[in-house]
Amino acid sequence: MSGASFLPVSSAHATIAPPGGGPDPTSIWVYVNNVENLMTTYSSSTDPIGNDCLGEYTDLPYWMDEHTAPDIFIVQQVGDSGTNRNGDASVQLNAYLARLKAVLGVDYAGVLAQRWLTPTTQNCPEKDYQTNAIIYRTDRFSPVRTSPLTWKSRKGTGCPQVDDQRSINVGQDFFDKVSGKYVAVASVHWPNSGNGCEALNWDDAVTHVRDPGLKGNLKIIAGDFNIPDRDYPSMAPKDWWTAAHNDFRDAQYYACNTAGTDAFDCAQNEGWTAWGQYTLINNVEVHHRIDFLFAENGDGTLAGMDRSSIQTVSFNDADSAGADLGNHEDTSPDTGRYSNHRAVVARMLYP
């Protein structure tokens, strides 16, 4: 597909030695989050689930500052913003890159699935323009392909690929100038109400991240899948997740998979990601886990991860970091949420 964009492109491929206290050449820190068009202050009486449009996106970078800066940050829902919008998705992407630089002191660039967007009608005007992206540290990574791979998600009877710009996925490979290795990354955003197409959407993501044109000692698929890993109220694993889990390591599940722990239940309890999406079971709100961070090695084996590094970043923790370090300088009402999705982070180990 055409329309994918780099912002900006670097062509340097020389391996560099890590500076003192710098990046570990044996591993990388990877985050994923649907950043919800950098939620701030909008509120609407037609908002279907309350204050869905309110948020304080700056809290997550402050949490990163208290913990660790991402080497790769896989994001969904960036677009255009402001009063004179023309559909340029680089507006919000560049705003986020600037925010990361200001808070973390690190230079980042991004790869967009699409730069130029047409407006859609969403419940929040800020979300009328949506696409997906991969953000990377420029002091560590340079993109290999001159243009990224993009592909449409599937939805509806027969599971055709649909013309829905918010669910166009993007894949890119990067050269790690610290380790001399390669990372292939896919940022995915599947449609709402996919009508049973999630298994095919997963297969498409695997096909693209394993594309011979993408170099990867490590291969990562992450994003907003818009489908839980289990059925409710039975809590049985969904077929798509079982297949995905057999192919790639699910970071949050792996963090929970320790002796004496029911990893599947733990992943639900510790790793739910979707604010406002839950099933009432025995009068308890069971929130859904719909955002995932999967990885495999280039030879098809499960990727290594530092189990202790893996977290689903709570709204309260990020809100506290924002209050401590940023004093909520965006002046938006403090909802305690940096997004309607909780981020997942893991330190991934090169094979």
pLDDT tens digits, one per residue of 40-56: 654 444 433 345 566 77
Percent of the chain with pLDDT over 90: 58
Q: Are 89 and 115 in contact (CB under 8 A)?
A: yes
Q: Are 216 and 184 in contact (CB under 8 A)?
A: yes
Orientation angle between helical segments 198-209 and 239-247, nearest 10 degrees: 20
pLDDT score at 46: 43
**What value does the mean pLDDT take over residues 315-338?**
70
Select the more confidently predicted residue: 194 or 310: 310
Lowest mean pLDDT among 12-21, 152-161, 329-338: 12-21
Alpha carbon distance 188, 224 (integer Å): 6
pLDDT score at 336: 67
Those residues whose C-beta lies under 8 Å from the C-beta of residue 251, and which sit 6 or more positions away, are 292, 293, 294, 295, 305, 310, 344, 346
For the chain, the structural domain boundaries read 5-10+18-349
**What value does the mean pLDDT take over residues 22-49?**
74
pLDDT score at 322: 82
pLDDT score at 327: 55
Q: How confident is the model at residue 335 (pLDDT cuts 50, 70, 90)?
A: low
pLDDT score at 233: 87
pLDDT score at 83: 61
pLDDT score at 320: 85
pLDDT score at 147: 94
pLDDT at 127 over 70: yes
Alpha carbon distance 68, 310 (integer Å): 12
pLDDT score at 25: 95
How many CB atoms neighbour CB 317 within 10 A?
16
Lowest mean pLDDT among 12-16, 52-56, 262-266: 12-16
Select the more confidently predicted residue: 323 or 180: 180
pTM given for the model: 0.90
pLDDT score at 314: 93
pLDDT at 16 over 70: no
Residue in 42, 77, 44 with CA at minimum distance from that of residue 333: 42
What is the DSSP secondary structure assignment for residue 207, as one 8-state letter? H
Lowest mean pLDDT among 65-79, 308-322, 328-342: 328-342
Cβ-in-10-Å burial (0-12, 13-18, 19+) of 156 comes to: middle
pLDDT score at 30: 98
Which two tokens mark 278? 């839950």
Round the average pLDDT of the chain to a whole number and report it.
Answer: 85
Residue in 106, 103, 41 with CA at minimum distance from that of residue 321: 103
Q: Are 125 and 163 in contact (CB under 8 A)?
A: no
Alpha carbon distance 29, 178 (integer Å): 13
Alpha carbon distance 191, 193 (integer Å): 6
CATH of domain 5-10+18-349: 3.60.10.10
Tens-digit pLDDT profile for residues 147-202: 999 999 999 999 999 999 999 999 999 999 999 999 999 999 999 876 789 999 99
Select the more confidently predicted residue: 225 or 39: 225
Residue in 83, 106, 89 with CA at minimum distance from that of residue 35: 89
pLDDT score at 117: 85
pLDDT score at 49: 38
Lowest mean pLDDT among 30-39, 69-78, 106-115: 30-39
Select the more confidently predicted residue: 109 or 20: 109
Alpha carbon distance 168, 189 (integer Å): 7
Q: How confident is the model at residue 259 (pLDDT cuts 50, 70, 90)?
A: low
What are the distances in angstroms from CA 268 to CA 49, 68, 286? 22, 24, 8
Q: Name the helix (H) or strand (E) containing 182.
A: strand 182-189
Those residues whose C-beta lies under 8 Å from the C-beta of residue 105, and which sit 6 or more positions away, are none
Place of tokens 């820190």: 29
**What value does the mean pLDDT take over residues 63-77?**
96
What are residue 345's DSSP bridge partners?
31, 311
